[in-house]
Structure 1
Amino acid sequence: MPITDPLLKDREAAPLLGISVPTFWRRVADGTIPKPIKLGALSRWPQSEILGVIERAKAARADAA
């Protein structure tokens, strides 16, 4: 069964947003980025959720215009 929504590490997700890993974690803390899925001690984010962050930012930009 192919993975259709890969789980990303923080260091994989941060570049998609054009931010550093420390800034990525600050955005998780402030709620801009969803909390991770915990797999034991690992933190992972579905790629669709990271892309959703981008889409929400685009929508907010359009609403502000």
Structure 2
Amino acid sequence: MTLSIKLDPEVKRQLEEIAKQQNTSLNRLVLKYISQGIQADTEEPDRLAAIEARLDAIEARLNEVTK
């Protein structure tokens, strides 16, 4: 499944800067904001948040191995 979102150029620039500061990818940052929006709208835990937590754990383990 592919999700395509067209961002305003200024919004994209700002998100890219935040992504650099947080040392994460723009795609993960956008997924994080989508996940938070879905959770806020439905008041139910969102599956994207659970997936993101798994990705964070895997990324942390990979970073430990590469150090």
TM-score, structure 2 normalization: 0.34
Structure number with higher strand proportion: 1
Report the structure number with the largest CA radius of gyration. 2
Higher share in helix: 2
Q: Using structure 1 for the length normalisation, give the TM-score.
A: 0.35
Higher relative contact order (CA 8 A, sep 6+): 1
